[in-house]
Chains A and B, each alone.
Chain A
Amino acid sequence: MPIIHYIEADGTEYEADVVVGSTVMQGAVDNMIDGILAECGGSCSCATCHCYVDEAWFEQVGEAGGTEKIMLEMAIDPQPTSRLSCQIQVTEELDGLVVRLPESQY
Chain B
Amino acid sequence: MQKVIIIGAGHAAAQLAPSLRKQGWKGQILIIGDEAYIPYQRPPLSKEFMAGEKTDDEILIRPLSAYDQHDITFRLNETAVKLNPLENALTLSTGESIGYDYLAFCTGARARKVPIPGSDLEGVFYLRSIDDVKGIKHRLDVRVKDRAKKSSKTSDSANVVIVGGGYIGLETAAALRKMDVNVTVLEMQDRVLARVTAPEVSEFYQRVHAEEGVQIRTDSIVSHIGGEGQVSTVRCESGKCFDADLVIIGVGVVPNVELAEEAGLLVDNGIVVDEFAQTSVSNIFAAGDCTSHPNALLADSLMNGRLRLESVPNAMEQAKTVAASICGQSLPYASYPWFWSDQYDLKLQIAGLSQGFDQVVIRGDHKNSRSFVAWYLKQGKLLAADCVNRPKEFLVAKQLLSRGIKVDPALLVDESIDPKTFLQ
Query: Hey, which bits of chain A sit against chain B, CB under 8 A?
Result: 26, 29-32, 34, 37, 39-41, 43-47, 67, 70-71, 73-75, 106
Contact = CB atoms under 8 A, between A and B. Distances in A.
Contacts of B22: 32, 34
Contact of A45 (B21, B66, B340, B399): B340
B250 interface: no
B316 interface: yes
A39 B338 CA distance: 10
B396 interface: yes
Nearest to B40: A41
B349 A45 contact: yes
A35 B123 CA distance: 44
A75 to B, nearest CB: 7
A67 B340 CA distance: 14
Interface in B10-45: 18, 21-22, 41, 43-44
B396 A74 contact: yes
A32 B18 contact: yes
Contacts of B338: 46
Main secondary structure of the interface of A (DSSP, over half): loop
A16 to B, nearest CB: 10
Contact of B392 (A34, A46, A74): A74
Which of A26, A43, A73 has the most C-beta atoms of chain B within 10 angstroms of its own C-beta? A43
A35 B63 CA distance: 19
Contacts of B349: 45
Given A71-B395, A74-B396, A46 B342 contact: no
Interface string B172-208: 0000000000000000000000000000000000000
Given A30-B66, A31-B66, A41-B41, A67 B395 contact: no
B70 interface: yes
Interface in B382-411: 391-392, 395-396, 399, 402
B62 interface: yes
Contacts of B43: 40-41, 43
B62 A30 contact: yes
B118 interface: no
Closest 4 CB pairs of A and B: A74-B395, A45-B340, A32-B18, A39-B313
B145 interface: no
A46 B340 contact: yes
Contacts of A39: 312-313, 316
B347 interface: yes
A76 B24 CA distance: 28
A41 B395 contact: no
A39 B41 CA distance: 11
Interface string B299-336: 00000000000001100100000000000000000000
A44 B48 CA distance: 13
A29 B39 CA distance: 13
Contacts of B44: 41
A30 B63 contact: yes
B70 A75 contact: no
B347 A45 contact: yes
